[in-house]
Amino acid sequence: MRSVKPILWSRPTSDGQYQIKIRITEDRKARYINVGIKVKKGDWNENKDRVKTSHPNSEYFNNLIETFLSRYFGGEQLIKKDSIQGNGTLGLLFEMRIKDFESQSRMSAVRRYHTLLKHFKTLNFDKIQVKELSIAHRQRLDTYFISELKIEPSTRHSYHKAIKTTLNYAKGLPNSFQLPKDDIYFNHKVQYKPKIKVSLKSIEIHKMFDSTNYGLQTEKQIFAIHLFLFSFSTMGMRFKDVLLLKWSNIELGNLKYVMSKNQREMKVKLNEHIVNILKFFLPSQLYFNPYINNKMEDQKFKNSLSTEIYKLESEFYYLKAQQTSLDIMSSITSRKDKHPESPKLEKIIQKRDYLLIELIKQYAKTNDGYIFTDKFDDNLNYQQIYNRAGSLNAIINLELKGVSKLFGISKFSFHSARHTFAYLSRKNNIDIYLISKCLGHSSLSITEQYLRTFEEEEVYVANDRMVPFISQFYKQE
């Protein structure tokens, strides 16, 4: 008799929350599968064995639990069918790993591991028992990647990394897999040059922020800029996580969400930069930009906060137009260097930002729709969400290419917002531990590797600047 049940683990983690696990009881013996999420004790419904609906991520968490219950055990059945004690094959191991990724909705990893499994099947490696893997197998795989497929070194590196992590995964399944006697990756390293991470300069970020108030781009470009700046302002939030945000993710002045890549819970405090992007996604009866809409006359709002915000912004634009005879866009863009705001304008901005935070907090209490898109609904599965997010990401990156030309800066993509946050944080001597926490990395070593690419780029630029200095030694008297 076998029973399967989601439970809340009895011992809390260091942050006071409790892990959710799947308990499998068979032949009076119990074992536990970690779902990879945790909640406070008061957020768990003991009667329904699910996260309470009052939790901001209850829908996502409960869907994940259901996915574990419905999909994870396909791998369990495969073990019974295809493996004897410790004799599992490499193909079986990867199939289990893929199901594990599916249960965590890590669709990019699912796609990568599926591709690698296809390569194994081409070489008949999927039928090899894990314990029989040898250096000769790894060498044959390298030959196949280099000579037959002509795969780039960076891709080969990621494939070998996937194999190594999967062998570590097998350590937790000793009844199904025995590890190879020898380390098949002993003294093995793929030499490759990491891709240079494109990041923007602080002045370029300022230009983009200032442009959002004046509507000088196309509607699609403005939308792309809004998403990019939102990611930068929320410590490098990834594209899929931005798209899946709902107004209900805003609670008590904080933006809370779960990273889709590694299921880490993140919390970002609402600040003036975030709310000055979110304001454009409020309904028109709550926010109306007086400059973009070219209507400086009084607007009527049911909400008193909206009325006050509109008056403050109207006054700001009026005073700003009087302040300089220069083009208003270039004046605003360069204000920090050449045109500092007057105390009166700064006071207006501060009051406006405070009211915006209150307005958005108020609106988020009673609204649960998606903030940035209407392309998703609760009936989509994780694969459909992944595919749609990928398509939208490609569209946004195309628009950002046009934005780069408009501002006269190097081409960049949406993910450059994450790189820019990390790079500018390091440039401003922010502690690497804090940068790691903000990016949601699981360890400092990952953050160090992440930032190393920027260091290599700086050395390259420094080298270029040294050329004139070195050249003077070759000049004749």
- Whether residue 120 lies inside any domain: the answer is yes
Please tell me the distance from the alpha carbon of residue 72 to that of residue 162, in angstroms, as a whole number.
Answer: 20
Could you tell me which of 153, 93, 84 has the C-alpha nearest to residue 120?
Answer: 93
Give the pLDDT score at 291.
67
pLDDT at 459 over 60: no
Taking residues 449-462, what's their average pLDDT? 66
- Whether residue 465 lies inside any domain: the answer is no
pLDDT at 460 over 70: no
pLDDT at 71 over 90: no
pLDDT at 204 over 80: yes
Taking residues 148-161, what's their average pLDDT? 93
What angle (nearest 5°) sits at the alpha carbon of residue 260, between those of residues 271 and 23? 125
Please tell me the distance from the alpha carbon of residue 127 to that of residue 143, in angstroms, as a whole number.
Answer: 19
Q: Are residues 297 and 179 located together in one domain of the fold?
A: no
What percent of the chain stands above pLDDT 90? Answer: 41
Please tell me the distance from the alpha carbon of residue 162 to that of residue 112, in angstroms, as a whole number.
Answer: 9
Task: Assess contact for 254 and 301: CB atoms under 8 A.
Answer: no
Burial of 88 (0-12, 13-18, 19+ CB in 10 A): buried
Q: Which residue has the tokens 């197998």?
A: 137
Q: Which residue has the tokens 């119990």?
A: 30
Given pLDDT bands bounded at 50, 70 and 90, which one contains residue 133? very high
Q: Which domain holds residue 44?
A: 1-59
- Whether residue 422 lies inside any domain: the answer is no
Q: Are residues 248 and 314 located together in one domain of the fold?
A: yes
**pTM of the full structure:** 0.70
Report the number of distinct structural domains present in the chain. Answer: 3
Last residue within a domain, chosen from 165, 193, 221: 193
Please tell me the distance from the alpha carbon of residue 306 to that of residue 359, in angstroms, as a whole number.
Answer: 7
Q: Are residues 292 and 369 located together in one domain of the fold?
A: yes
Last residue within a domain, chosen from 361, 393, 412: 412
Last residue within a domain, chosen from 412, 441, 472: 412
- Whether residue 98 lies inside any domain: the answer is yes
Task: Assess contact for 229 and 209: CB atoms under 8 A.
Answer: yes
Tens-place pLDDT, residues 31-62 = 888 877 888 999 999 888 899 988 877 877 88
Give 14 or 462, the one with higher predicted confidence.
Answer: 14
What percent of the chain stands above pLDDT 70? Answer: 84
- Whether residue 70 lies inside any domain: the answer is no
Give the pLDDT score at 469.
55
Q: Are residues 122 and 263 located together in one domain of the fold?
A: no
Q: Are residues 174 and 231 located together in one domain of the fold?
A: no
Q: Are residues 108 and 247 located together in one domain of the fold?
A: no
- Whether residue 68 lies inside any domain: the answer is no
Please tell me the distance from the alpha carbon of residue 198 to that of residue 453, in angstroms, as a whole number.
Answer: 10
- Whether residue 131 lies inside any domain: the answer is yes
User: In CATH, what number is assigned to the domain containing residue 153?
Assistant: 1.10.150
Mean pLDDT (the chain, rounded): 83
Tens-place pLDDT, residues 293-342 = 555 456 778 889 999 998 998 888 777 777 654 444 454 444 444 455 67
Burial of 367 (0-12, 13-18, 19+ CB in 10 A): middle
Q: Are residues 313 and 395 located together in one domain of the fold?
A: yes
Amino acid letter, 273: H
Task: Assess contact for 6 and 22: CB atoms under 8 A.
Answer: yes
Q: Are residues 169 and 212 located together in one domain of the fold?
A: no
Q: Are residues 158 and 186 located together in one domain of the fold?
A: yes
Q: Are residues 185 and 208 located together in one domain of the fold?
A: no
Q: Are residues 169 and 218 located together in one domain of the fold?
A: no
Q: Are residues 232 and 368 located together in one domain of the fold?
A: yes
Q: Can you name the residues that pair with 246 across neighbouring β-strands?
A: 370
- Whether residue 389 lies inside any domain: the answer is yes
